Amino acid sequence: MINLETPKKHATLIDQAHQLAMNMLRPISRKYDRAEHTYPKELDMLAALIDGVSETGATSGAGAGGVRRDTAADDGADGGGGKVRNGTNLASVLSVAEMCWGDTALLLSMPRQGLGNSAIASVANEEQLERYRGTWAAMAITEPGTGSDSANITTTAVQDGDHYVINGEKIYVTSGERADSVVVWATLDKDLGRAAIKSFLVRKDNPGLKVERLEHKLGIRASDTAVITFTDCRVPAEDLLGSPEIDTKSGFGGAMATFDNTRPLVAAMAVGCARAALDLTRDLLEQAGVVIDYDRPAQSQSAAAATFLRLEADWEGAKLLMMQAAWMADNRKPNSLEASMAKAKAGRVGSDVTLSCVQLCGTLGYSESELLEKWARDSKILDIFEGTQQIQQLIVARRVLGLTSAELK
């Protein structure tokens, strides 16, 4: 049975992540928000530190690289699920939340911690996992005109001997310029629908790949977001992630496995950013003489205190859903429903909390003298990418009602 307390075994990792966020990310947060598209060189040292910690085997999940669900996973749990485990999924979401307490955009800019790495962890075979070790992979899903409906991908991959030839355009690719490779989602056969959608690892130096431009954005400005085109881009067949077989019965299985992996991570980003806003807002309210009393009913306190208590309660619900989705993955339980619930709840709560904190703090919240306005801008994307709020609600409804996507649109 899940225990909703933070596992003691992860306490050291969480503390390390918080120290990094406080001492390395938070101090340079405003600098790189203003210097959009400038690579944060300070992250090279941080990435080397995380690599060193990972190589010692002392801990895991220090970044957003994603994790893999194996039958011989952490803590010696047996395949029959006899022993409850708190493994790398839970460690990842808890440490990502702490790092985003420092800065979400800087976490998304971390070398070798791209969302594409989560895709690799989800669907790559053992040989590919070893071969791609150390790569920094962006993830290219979204296309012009497809929006959140990833099943309508039009980028094609046509087999030609021992290669696939990829043609298409991808937009809003996080770390699209800085990463050394890109996980590209393409269809092998449009007539077969979502079952034919596969992911490929494409090296950035491939002559058929071109970064067309970088986007100017509302938030997460330290993170580069690119438009990438693929023109007769030849990719070795061995770089198709997972199985090349098209199984119409399994449908969108590989893609969904990726989302089941990344959506709790995006929820963790929203949880961390919202926590930062709540912590600063509590301090500013106390400085203004607003007392927040946890031992008294909200309705008997000031309007500002009552609002803050509501925001904290909502935040707590998002955090627990995030932990549940990660815990289920650690224990090899199907978590598609819970991953979407966590993403939907945390995305909405993140935007609500950060904007409400801006309002509670008045001129201090709206000005650049504090980071509250930046967190409000950063948090909005966390309700959009990896599937919008509306898409998550559709997925949850389908899972709860037992309906297919054709039956409930």
386 is catalytic: yes
**Is the distance from CB of 339 to CB of 308 less than 8 angstroms?**
no
Report the distance separating Cα 12 and Cα 17, nearest Å. Answer: 9
SS3 labels along the chain:
CCCCCCCHHHHHHHHHHHHHHHHHHHHHHHHHHHCCCCCCCHHHHHHHHHHHHHHHCCCCCCCCCCCCCCCCCHHHCCCCCCCCCCCHHHHHHHHHHHHHHHCHHHHHCCCCCCHHHHHHHHHCCHHHHHHCCCCCEEEECCCCCCCCCHHHCCCEEEEECCEEEEEEEEEEEECCCCCCEEEEEEECCHHHHHHHEEEEEEECCCCCEEEEEECCCCCCCCCCEEEEEEEEEEEEHHHECCCCCCCCCCCCHHHHHHHHHHHHHHHHHHHHHHHHHHHHHHHHHHHCCCCCCCCCCHHHCCHHHHHHHHHHHHHHHHHHHHHHHHHHHHCCCCCHHHHHHHHHHHHHHHHHHHHHHHHHCHHHHHCCCCCHHHHHHHHHHCCCCCCCHHHHHHHHHHHHHCCCCCCCC
Q: Which of the residues 169, 338, 370, 386 is marked catalytic?
A: 386
Residues belonging to the active site: 386
